[in-house]
Copies of this chain bind each other. A is one copy, B any other.
Amino acid sequence: MERITPRTLSGFMELLPGPQAQMDVILDVLRRTYALYGFTAIDTPAVEAAEILLAKGGGETEKQIYRFMKGEHDLALRFDLTVPLAKYVAMNYGQLAFPFRRYQIGKVYRGERSQRGRFREFYQADIDVIGDGTLDIANDAEMPAVICAVFRRLGIERFCIRMNNRKVLNGLFEHLGVQDPAAVMGAIDKLEKIGRAKVEALLAELGLGQDQIGTLMDLLLTDEPLAALEPLAEKNETLAAGLGELKAVTALLPSLGVPDGKWRIDLTIARGLDYYTGTVYETTLLDNPEVGSVCSGGRYDDLAGYYTNRKLPGVGLSIGVTRLFYILQEQKLLNDALPTAPCDGLILPMDGQCLAYASACATALRQQGVRTQVYMEGKKFRAKLEYANRLGVPFALIIGGDEMAAGTVGLKDLRAGTQQTVTADQAATIIKQSLDKDIKPVKGS
């Protein structure tokens, strides 16, 4: 037979079972935390009509999208979870209760140029709150609360949620008489990457005078942003509105369980020039600022304008889980103590005579909720133990003629190297007690 060399496409993450188990714990933490905050799950197709996904059209999206014909249908793979959400809400408007709070965790596709740490298929984990006509600013305060809960439940403590408000920036530009606000915002967005001096040079190129640049920079980089903005709020309504929103959001953070050290106002954060209209968020890993924001989002005025004339404002955030996992793996931050074996108890029958008894023991363990495998192969005992070690199984249950006759098992704790003779039910209890449920997928720092 002619053979084809098996391969997985470049830019498509495919993990071995151990790392996959770590990834699955991370996805599970996300699901549970989103649900804990009262978000409901939806699941939309990975394939949509191209005209739906490209309703907004334009630029990078169109270049990166996987688009193809099937028969007469012009189809494409979704490149984010926001456009499918807009479609979903517009389509099902009459059957949803607003505010509509949904989470979605799913794969999205972007045919980017392949490079290290960039993926063409990756998981996004999004939450959004969508209002019908209006949406109270208090909802914006919940986003940092969810981010904070997610990261701490993952085991990540050294992070900072940085918040800004687009109205503050817009008002500031109005006040300073900036001609091309979008370009200035783009320049400011580069502050972290290229530094103050280069941004000032860019701003000068954009026609800002030294006075304007000085005022702008002093404001953006102040340690007391709310106080510094206060006098300007009297001079510009947009800025005043933005400042009011920032204050409303930050005032609620303590009662929502977001500790002071986990967030700050950062007036240099701009994000998605044409989409966000109010609060914006970025989240930085304090020990890895070079990777940029690992969880971003913000407030928008109009979710689904391409599909409906109803005004549907919202606020949301997105975590690029595949990239986050890649970073955690690269930085060796994943917790080795997290159990990744396929089972907690591996039953090793000494020979074929013991198979039925071994199976009955497995049934007893499973009934108590212990993840159990029976090693069914007729190999030598050493090969069986090697298999257990290779899987990293914490407990082996050895069953020979003596155990079968006595109705017991030889319970071997493979980590401690100890062994005791107990019944299958006792073994289940011992195994369950030994499993630490509180191990987080990321190492404490």
Contact = CB atoms under 8 A, between A and B. Distances in A.
Interface of A: 1, 3-9, 12-17, 20-21, 23-24, 35-49, 51-52, 55, 66-71, 73, 75, 77, 86-88, 90-92, 95-97, 99, 101-102, 107, 109, 111, 120-121, 131, 134-136, 138-139, 141-142, 145, 149, 251-252, 255-257, 304-309, 342-343, 346, 352, 355-357, 359-360, 362-363, 366-367, 369-378, 387, 390-391
Contacts of A91: 6-8
Given A48-B8, A138-B376, A390 B97 contact: yes
B111 A307 contact: no
A17 B40 contact: yes
A305 B139 contact: no
Among A42, A96, A376, A390, residue most surrounded by chain B Cβ atoms (within 10 Å): A376
Given A39-B342, A256-B360, A256-B363, 8 more contacts: A4-B55, A6-B91, A9-B45, A13-B45, A14-B42, A20-B43, A24-B41, A37-B372
Nearest to A35: B371
Contacts of A102: 17
A276 to B, nearest CB: 19
Contact of A149 (B41, B86, B149, B366): B366
Contact of A359 (B51, B141, B372): B141
B36 A15 contact: no
* Those 4 A-B pairs whose CB atoms lie nearest each other, nearest first: A38-B373, A68-B68, A40-B342, A38-B343
Could you say how many copies of this chain the assembly holds?
2
A95 B16 contact: yes
Nearest to A356: B255
Given A95-B16, A252-B356, A49 B88 contact: no
A182 to B, nearest CB: 20
B38 A66 contact: no
Contact of A138 (B37, B101, B355, B366): B355
A20 B88 CA distance: 13
A357 B255 CA distance: 7
A372 B36 CA distance: 6
A366 B9 contact: no
A283 to B, nearest CB: 19
A360 B252 CA distance: 9
Contacts of A255: 356-357, 359-360, 363
Contacts of A43: 14-15, 20, 23-24
A136 B378 contact: yes
B9 A48 contact: yes
Contacts of A21: 40-41
A49 B9 contact: yes
Contacts of A252: 355-356, 359
A343 B102 CA distance: 11
A17 B38 contact: no
A370 B39 CA distance: 13
A366 B308 contact: no
Nearest to A13: B45
Contacts of A52: 4, 6-7
Contact of A36 (B131, B142, B308, B369): B369
Nearest to A134: B377
B36 A371 contact: yes
B87 A356 contact: no
Contacts of A308: 3, 6
Contact of A14 (B1, B44, B95): B44
A346 B370 CA distance: 35
Contacts of A374: 38, 138, 142
A399 B203 CA distance: 50
A411 to B, nearest CB: 17
Among A16, A46, A359, residue most surrounded by chain B Cβ atoms (within 10 Å): A359
A78 to B, nearest CB: 11
Contacts of A362: 256
